[in-house]
Amino acid sequence: MPMQPMSDRAEPTARGAGYCVFDTQLGVCGIAWSERGLTRLQLPEADPQATMRRLRAGAGGEAPSSEPPPRWVAGLIGELRRYFAGERVEFTDVAIDLAGANEFQHKLYDLTRAVGWGRTTTYGELARQAGDPGASRAVGQAMGHNPVPIIIPCHRVLAAGRKIGGFSAYGGAVTKERLLALEGVYPGDGTPPLPGLLPGR
């Protein structure tokens, strides 16, 4: 059966919870939520079907529904579309449900959310702020397990020397560079890349 069009269709997983996919200028993204807040933001995969599979797996594999997402989710989708179109949007007020994250991860995610649009930090600096200067590797692992990229802006966390570092989303470091470029940030020597270096959608 062909996949449904990417039209913000919501799929319920439990009372007050659901997920949907939506188009952006970066590609098809996915979003999931609970009664307590956002639980997942899926960046584009190789194709829309792959994005839906990843999102559905994280949401328990429930069957599709034609019900629209809640108003606050629809509003967030609109803000994400604006962000991926290059507008300055802050997501610091978005409620997040981080069930399953440990205390150290919660601390790191709070610190990362404080890194504003167009700014960056490093794994080492986050480790220092979290009270464990030797925990750079653990910081990298926490960023890799971040369930809501952009909202918790792990793309703004660089390696030492302003090197790009890793990124767990599809496309890896290239996707990270594209997200930073949306905010006018160019790691390394700070020089914008030549046209075409960071491919579009």
The answer to whether 127 and 134 have CB atoms below 8 angstroms apart is yes
Report the alpha-carbon distance of residue 120 to residue 98 in Å, rounded.
23
Least confident of 3-12, 15-24, 126-135: 3-12
Fold that domain 103-182 belongs to in CATH: Arc Repressor Mutant, subunit A (1.10.10)
Residue 180 phi, psi (nearest 5): -65, -40
User: HSE-up of 52 (CA within 13 Å, CB side)?
Assistant: 20
pLDDT computed for residue 190 by the predictor: 59
Least confident of 17-31, 68-82, 153-167, 187-201: 187-201
Q: Which tokens is 40 given?
A: 């997942």
Active site residues: 154
Closest CA to 108 of 90, 91, 122, 94: 122
Name the percent of the chain lying above pLDDT 90.
67
- Residue 25 clears pLDDT 80, i.e. is over it: yes
Of the pLDDT bands very low, low, confident and very high (cuts 50, 70, 90), residue 198 is very low
Q: At which residue do the structure tokens 């970066």 appear? A: 26
| Residue-range domain boundaries for the chain | 10-84, 103-182
pLDDT in tens, 142-164: 999 999 999 999 999 999 988 99
pLDDT in tens, 115-135: 999 999 999 999 999 999 999
Q: Which tokens is 52 given?
A: 């839906």
DSSP state of 84: H
- Total-model pTM: 0.85
- Residue 13 clears pLDDT 60, i.e. is over it: no
Of the pLDDT bands very low, low, confident and very high (cuts 50, 70, 90), residue 66 is low
Report the alpha-carbon distance of residue 1 to residue 90 in Å, rounded.
38
Report the alpha-carbon distance of residue 200 to residue 187 in Å, rounded.
18
Fold that domain 10-84 belongs to in CATH: Double Stranded RNA Binding Domain (3.30.160)
pLDDT in tens, 71-108: 999 999 999 999 999 999 999 999 999 988 999 999 99
Please give the single-letter amino acid code of residue 16: G
Mean pLDDT of the residues in the chain: 85
